[in-house]
Structure 1
Amino acid sequence: MKPLTLTLLCLASGLLPAQGLNSKKKSAAYSSQNTKEQLVHQSVQQETDRIFNKLVNVRRQFHENPELAGHEKQTQETIKQYLLDLGLEVQTDNYGQSVVGILKGDKKGKKIAWRSDMDALPNDYPDPETFKSKIKGIQHGCGHDLHMAVGLGIAEVLSKNKKSLKGTVYFIFQPEEETFKGAKEMINNGLLSKIHPDEIYGLHVTATPVGQIMVKPNEMFAYQKKIRIQLKNGLSEEQLNGLTKKISNALFRTSNGSKPWELQSIVDPKIGLTNPDTIFKDYLFTDGKFSIYSKNNQSFLEAYLYETNASHLDQIIPAVQKIIVDNGYQNQLVSVSFVQENPTVINNEKLTRSAIEILQNLYGKDAVAADYGQVPFFNDDFAYFQQKIPGVYFFLGGSNFEKGVIAMNHSPNFQVDEESIRTGVKSFSSLIIERLNKN
């Protein structure tokens, strides 16, 4: 007897369940699971709304009491106490003023890290907020105060949804980001041998519209290099200026005469980051004029340059050497080198696409905006974590143009619409829950 005939006879006699009944059970199970997930994320939104004003106050406390890289003592104590009050295990013995909060879910699973940076900037720019810095010459002019509030908010929301967590979440509050030192030193001091995260996530508030999350796979920023040309003395000031102008012209590539150094254009719908034809891709330029100085009977020419294409980086030094030789200065040439070349933020492609899908499924197609460019001038030492762990770094919009709130980092009158805290806490709490569930 053929197997198919036997199966049909068994179905008819009631010895095997009908496929239709089995499908209904599967459908019911899926529907039940789907309902549970919806309830979890409803809880996330409700808890975010409940603690929102509290987080705003915490952010303002950080804003009023900024601390420079390496001096984040009061900031550390505030974060430590907040996490302890949530019932998290807290570690402060890794490096500097760092804090690591550990939240273990009720079920075993993967391990995910969320990183927030802590330090403020040494400047005294005009600040339109009523809760201005109380420390002269120091400001949270880059948004790290808001980053910490979002990190604490995610910790609180997830601690209230602990039963939904299949795994462990590490909240890494990292000092000394502005000096590009903190992440590297935390790793060098053995952080990742203690906590072993499988994935890591972080964000930076930026000048895009409030509530808008923006991300892309691979590079978020241009590659930033500081180039130094060392020459024997003997060239006049006029010759040195002429040489640097030729080098700058050679190290210049943009599309259709665009100006990617004009950062205010990142929000322009026609040429900004969200447009596939953005001006913030495929460029190379130097940051202003070369600085020229003499030391030990030698001349030094230095400038920062920004390149979007990693494969072009190895071509830059030979190109500069050729210009110097072609202009008759071969005998004066001592060396051409990169004297600063920090790694850039590179998002893991698979995790980025998963994050976009999760956020859009939960909060709608507009929950995440596509990013088609790479921002010059800025960078983040989150890149050091990404060298060790697959990770994703998001932009979180903080500007409210109708209210005149412009979240242009490191600029006078930097201001953030605090509704971005709500967006960040809700969205990334949900993201972490869903990623933990994808064991």
Structure 2
Amino acid sequence: MKIRFLLSLLFLVVCQQKAICQQKTKEASTHESIKLETDNIFNKLVDIRRDFHENPELAGNEIHTQKKLKQYLLDLGLEVETNIYGYGIIGILKGGKNGKKIAWRAEMDALPNDLPDNVDFKSKIKGAQHGCGHDVHMTIALGIAEVLAKNKNSLHGTVYFIFQPEEETFVGAKNMINNGLLSKINPDEIYALHVTALPAGQILVKPNEMFAYQRRIQIKLKDELTKEQAKELTKKIYSLLSRAETGSKPWEIQNMSDPKIGLANPNTAYKNYLIMDENFKIYSKNNELFLEAYLYETNSSNLVTIIPKIKQVIEASDYKELLLSVSFTQENPTVMNNKKLTDTAVKTLNTIYGKNCVSTDYGQFPFFNDDFTYFQQKIPGTYFFLGGSNIEKGIIAMNHAPNFRVDEECMKAGVKNFSSLILERLK
């Protein structure tokens, strides 16, 4: 009897192991299929991205961009919603099985500039250019939508593709939410990415803050200082507030991909700093003198000390009686990744595509921010950096810089990895 029981138990264990192996084989086959489907649509995605790049539209004017997105999504068989805010558009992919609701966000607007752009598909619109990578972001989102649409019957749940206008002006996400977006779609999780000057295809992420906290400080005084006196005062403020790790230069963002001091190194130069404009904007208006500058702080608890420190400098100077006010005139929230969701996403991608698929971000990027943070305030969300540079090809994906270029191969990494992530997270 005992032997029969042990044999039955052994049989159950063997069956269990067999089922686990079959499930793993099935999952591996699914992700291999995603990779192949990504490769198959790559050339089409390149054409779409270049079309976006040639026809950029500034914040609040994403008319033709919306039309192109809408047609592409409809052709995939997705439901489309445009009555949200501005020229925003939502593609809705309903899977064949019950499951979660997951959103993916991509920005639509271009930058207002005419910086040098060393590509054959330059902007045809004077004063507008996709110099931040939003053309790439939209294309990756369309690629994910196409890959997942081809697996619609096996999908658990619903995917919402949010194409957001007016990110460069930092109002699009907030206005979409204020106009009732989340009452219409109410996702459980939300994800986004930003292409930047890391090696093409490298994914970098961390829990909590991805960027430093950006503030614009304004000091208002009676207009009784000479230009030289005002400059001398701003130098004292700059010297008091500025902070960086010994030997580090976090303002030199061209080193963000450096293996020794970049974001992916535990000893990165891009942590524990407060950097600010050394040259303040100084101007007079209505008998008042204004001193203004941007600053970037990695530690949120230090933000409350900034205004008191500036007041101390002025009160210790000869201009104490001239001080009218010190205030933040801009204090946008920063991107804040949900820890549990981010850790799970990293584990999921590294399990599917190898332990080096996702790199850990050990710092906080200065000078930039993203209004994706407003979505994260309402929904658990994770925001990734995706490398777009290829030094051997002379391609540097440094956002908002002259000759910003992207190695389009990075779009494969974006579509493949995040299609797989969403598929797994839906279950």
User: The TM-score by the shorter chain falls in which range?
Assistant: over 0.9
Show the counterpart of 1:213.
203
Unaligned runs of 5+ residues in structure 2 are: none
- In the TM superposition, what whole-angstrom CA distance separates every residue of 1:265-295 from its partner, at most 9, and x where no partner exists? 1011111111111110000021231111111
Question: Hey, what's the Cα distance between the residues in 2 that align with 1:429 and 1:259?
Answer: 37
C-alpha deviation, 1:74, in angstroms: 0.5
**TM-score, scaled relative to structure 1:** 0.95
- In the TM superposition, what whole-angstrom CA distance separates every residue of 1:66-120 from its partner, at most 9, and x where no partner exists? 1000001110000000000011000000000101000111111111000000101
Find the partner of 1:112 among 88, 102, 121.
Answer: 102
Give the total of aligned pairs.
427
**TM-score, scaled relative to structure 2:** 0.98
Task: Say if 2:356 is the partner of 1:366.
Answer: yes
- In the TM superposition, what whole-angstrom CA distance separates every residue of 1:350-407 from its partner, at most 9, and x where no partner exists? 1111111111111112211111111110110001101111100001100000010111
C-alpha deviation, 1:139, in angstroms: 0.7
Question: Hey, what's the Cα distance between the residues in 2 that align with 1:178 and 1:265?
Answer: 24
Give matches, 1:385-404, under 5 Å.
385-404=375-394
Find the partner of 1:384 among 353, 360, 374.
Answer: 374
Find the partner of 1:195 among 161, 167, 185.
Answer: 185
Show the counterpart of 1:89.
79
Give matches, 1:271-286, under 5 Å.
271-286=261-276
Question: Hey, what's the Cα distance between the residues in 2 that align with 1:122 and 1:408?
Answer: 16
Find the partner of 1:306 among 296, 302, 306.
Answer: 296
Read off the aligned partner of 2:283 and give its amino acid letter.
Answer: Y
C-alpha deviation, 1:13, in angstroms: 6.0
Show the counterpart of 1:315.
305
Find the partner of 1:353 among 343, 357, 363.
Answer: 343
Show the counterpart of 1:100.
90
- Secondary structure of 1:267's match? coil
Show the counterpart of 1:256.
246
Show the counterpart of 1:182.
172
- Secondary structure of 1:201's match? strand
Task: Say if 2:383 is the partner of 1:425.
Answer: no
Show the counterpart of 1:6.
none
- Secondary structure of 2:198's match? strand
Question: Hey, what's the Cα distance between the residues in 2 that align with 1:82 and 1:18?
Answer: 55
Show the counterpart of 2:36.
46
Question: Hey, what's the Cα distance between the residues in 1 that align with 2:299 and 2:28?
Answer: 41
- Contact 2:235–2:278 (CA<8 Å) still a contact in 1? no
Question: Hey, what's the Cα distance between the residues in 2 that align with 1:177 and 1:17?
Answer: 63
Question: Hey, what's the Cα distance between the residues in 2 that align with 1:255 and 1:12?
Answer: 68
Read off the aligned partner of 1:148 and give its amino acid letter.
Answer: M
* Alpha-carbon RMSD: 1.2
- Secondary structure of 2:256's match? helix
Question: Hey, what's the Cα distance between the residues in 2 that align with 1:403 and 1:149?
Answer: 22
Task: Say if 2:12 is the partner of 1:22.
Answer: yes
- Secondary structure of 1:305's match? strand
- Secondary structure of 1:366's match? coil
Question: Hey, what's the Cα distance between the residues in 2 that align with 1:105 and 1:278?
Answer: 42
- In the TM superposition, what whole-angstrom CA distance separates every residue of 1:309-349 from its partner, at most 9, and x where no partner exists? 11111111111111111113222111111010111101111
Unaligned runs of 5+ residues in structure 1 are: 1-8
- Secondary structure of 2:270's match? coil
Show the counterpart of 1:31.
21
Show the counterpart of 2:315.
325
C-alpha deviation, 1:153, in angstroms: 0.2
C-alpha deviation, 1:252, in angstroms: 0.5
Greater C-alpha Rg: 1
- Contact 2:109–2:134 (CA<8 Å) still a contact in 1? yes
Show the counterpart of 1:224.
214
- Contact 1:284–1:307 (CA<8 Å) still a contact in 2? yes
Question: Hey, what's the Cα distance between the residues in 2 that align with 1:413 and 1:196?
Answer: 39
Give matches, 1:3-14, under 5 Å.
9=1, 11-12=2-3
Question: Hey, what's the Cα distance between the residues in 2 that align with 1:51 and 1:237?
Answer: 59
Task: Say if 2:156 is the partner of 1:156.
Answer: no
Find the partner of 1:296 among 286, 296, 303.
Answer: 286
Distance 1:329 1:426, change over 3 A: same
Show the counterpart of 2:162.
172
Q: Structure 1 residues 182-191 or 283-292, which shifts more?
A: 283-292
Task: Say if 2:140 is the partner of 1:138.
Answer: no
Show the counterpart of 1:76.
66
Q: Structure 1 residues 198-207 or 267-276, which shifts more?
A: 267-276
- In the TM superposition, what whole-angstrom CA distance separates every residue of 1:108-160 from its partner, at most 9, and x where no partner exists? 11110000001011111111111111112211111100100000000000000
- In the TM superposition, what whole-angstrom CA distance separates every residue of 1:19-70 from its partner, at most 9, and x where no partner exists? 2111111111111211111111111111101111000100000001110000
Show the counterpart of 2:114.
124
Find the partner of 1:243 among 233, 238, 243.
Answer: 233
Point out 4+ residue stretches in structure 1 off by more than 3 angstroms: 11-14
